[in-house]
Amino acid sequence: MTATTDGSAGAVSPRASSASDITTAPAADGIRAAAERAAERSVAHLLGRQDTEGWWKGDLETNVTMDAEDLLLRQFLGIQDDATLHAAALHIRGEQRDDGTWATFYGGPPELSATIEAYVALRLAGDRPDDPHMARASAWIRAQGGIAAARVFTRIWLALFGWWKWDDLPELPPELIFLPRWFPLNIYDFGCWARQTIVPLTVVSAKRPVRPAPFPLDELHTDPRLPNPPRPLAPVASWDGLFQRLDKALHAYHKVAPRRLRRAAMNVAARWIVERQENDGCWGGIQPPAVYSVIALYLLGYDLEHPVMRAGLESLDRFAVWREDGARMIEACQSPVWDTCLATIALADAGLPADHPALVKAADWMLGEEIVRPGDWAVRRPGLPPGGWAFEFHNDNYPDIDDTAEVVLALRRVRHHDPDRLDAAVARGARWTLGMQSANGAWGAFDADNTSPFPNRLPFCDFGEVIDPPSADVTAHVVEMLAHEGKAQHPSTRRAVTWLLSEQEPSGAWFGRWGVNYVYGTGSVVPALVAAGLPGSHPALRKAVRWLESVQNDDGGWGEDLRSYREEKWIGHGASTASQTAWALLALLAAGERESTAVERGIAWLATTQTEDGSWDEPYFTGTGFPWDFSINYHLYRQVFPLTALGRYLHGDPEVGGLAGTARSGARGGAH
């Protein structure tokens, strides 16, 4: 798909072909032969990317707000250096579109807050307001309402330098840390990513620091004489109106808050932050909480040479990806555990022997990453023994259910030299996952029953999800794992199957929370339901098959644009991508459609679009942090999922389907 500067689809429709013609190469010698060649090349490519320690990790690409906020942090702390500034600016300029704007995903519409933050970062790098690329950006920003229309987090960054007034930001008192766990809006009502961000921001909100601004930003206001225009209040009878008035009350409290109480609250918050710092110095394995934690502790008197601060700043440097052209991109997070378990599954399903050294080395590394101590999840499940895996290199406070399910499935594909160790780790992971089931029978990503309706209502929370309710994709992966572990008839599994069936859309698809979107959700759920015992003839599966066939692109692939989260016309539609084509194929293969025209066309698309080195190109973002608000391009998705689909096409049992049907019998047998 070609994208215009305003982010709309260009001269092609969402269903149009974006790949080369698939009617040539595979037809010459058969689909299977083409699939075999593609799988062989893909296996070689993936093996070549494994780290010597056993893990895989692809770049995790998001948007330029990560880079801009990294520069703003360095400016705030007084540690800006010319080399970093130049390299970050090189990347940010490279992401600007012709109309002067920045988007939050490839081919997406321009985004105001991202454009403001990128513009300010380039000003820090020395770009002048009258430079043509900067003038185009500022003109577009003013046309959209200026800084006043930006999200809260953007205006917080600007308030740190006096470019916005703290009084005109939502109040977030540190006394929030004292609210008991049964009280509405206590910190454990927020999803873990929001919780880790909000606690340090309560300190920042109380301190309200202002560093001297290196330059004015009058050009980003619609009226520089009235830079902070008042915002209209919602009706008092509405939830929004109620929380707006609560915010006004909290602003009044800020002026009279008892000093001893406030100081005590900030000290408790500081202790909470320090206790959750990981061994590598980061917080939660993700960049935003680390940035705000460093700022909060700095404001509380932790100097830059303090071990906590030094480790925190060093961890932030590890989020940087340096390009060959000298540009520097900041990852919001790193995904080695997720990438490694998916790569292990892909290679095993493609026929790599279960005792292959690469798989054994990957299993060794994954076993070493198991988390065997309680984290914040234990607040809701205090009696549950630990035993899960996180997404990142270091994140012991927040193992996640999705990773744990997939790691278990990956470990079961390996004939390990210490089967007792592997079995024990798998048993702990399955037990912990069962214990994290929410009351409705499904699973969220990090916490159980994290479903309060209140956090998303706060004026402060205007960017993405701040709670972690159960989702179909995570629940499906858990069901698949439990079925593989012989627990298909376990009461918890049956409750989850019932929940999944109730979540199916009238179209036959399932919503995708952590991947884009209905193609991902459907590609996750169908294999899980088959693994749990539903026959391919089940009405829900037939409906899903018909939906996938109906949204297949003319070129044989599948694609779904991120705009499907907001616009119905994009559901199931978009330029074909390798990862989304693979997700659709995984569902169709699990449902017994191996000989169907849709599957053959999809396999042909994968075979034909593979590059010479055995990989696939995929500029489109097919992952999500928050649906629509924060999008992710996992650079390894384009490698692992196509190989998994090719492997199951070549070796899987279409009558069984899913991961349970494609696991090598020798792999599991050798683990006992």
Query: Which residues are part of the catalytic machinery?
Result: 402
Torsion 370-372-373-376 (CA) sign? positive
Q: How far apart are the first and last CA of the chain?
A: 49
Amino acid at position 410, single letter: A
What's 450's DSSP letter? B
For the chain, the helix, strand and coil percentages under 3-state DSSP, each to the nearest 5: 50, 5, 45
- Other beta carbons less than 10 A from residue 614's beta carbon: 20
Check if the beta carbon of residue 2 is closer than 8 Å to that of residue 8.
no
Beta bridge partners, 515, equal 623
Element (H, E) at 669: helix 665-669
* Side-chain half-sphere exposure of 613, counting CA atoms within 13 A: 9
User: Which tokens go with 373?
Assistant: 């101590």
Helix ranges, 25-111 (H): 25-29, 31-48, 65-77, 82-95
Provide the angle, in degrees to the nearest 10, between the axes of the packed helices 287-299 and 65-77. 20
Phi-psi sector, 465: left (phi>0), alpha (psi -120 to 50), beta: beta
Instruction: Tokens 């006004």: give the residue.
Output: 248
Chain-centroid distance, C-alpha 293? 20
How far is it, in rounded angstroms, from Cα 405 to Cα 471? 14
Amino acid at position 163, single letter: W
How far is it, in rounded angstroms, from Cα 55 to Cα 338? 10
User: Which tokens go with 273?
Assistant: 């932050």
How does DSSP assign 109-136, residue by residue? Answer: PB-HHHHHHHHHHHHHTT--TTSHHHHH
Q: List phi, psi (to 5°) of 129.
A: -60, -30
Apex 634 CA angle, 630 and 638, nearest 5: 135
* Side-chain half-sphere exposure of 202, counting CA atoms within 13 A: 25
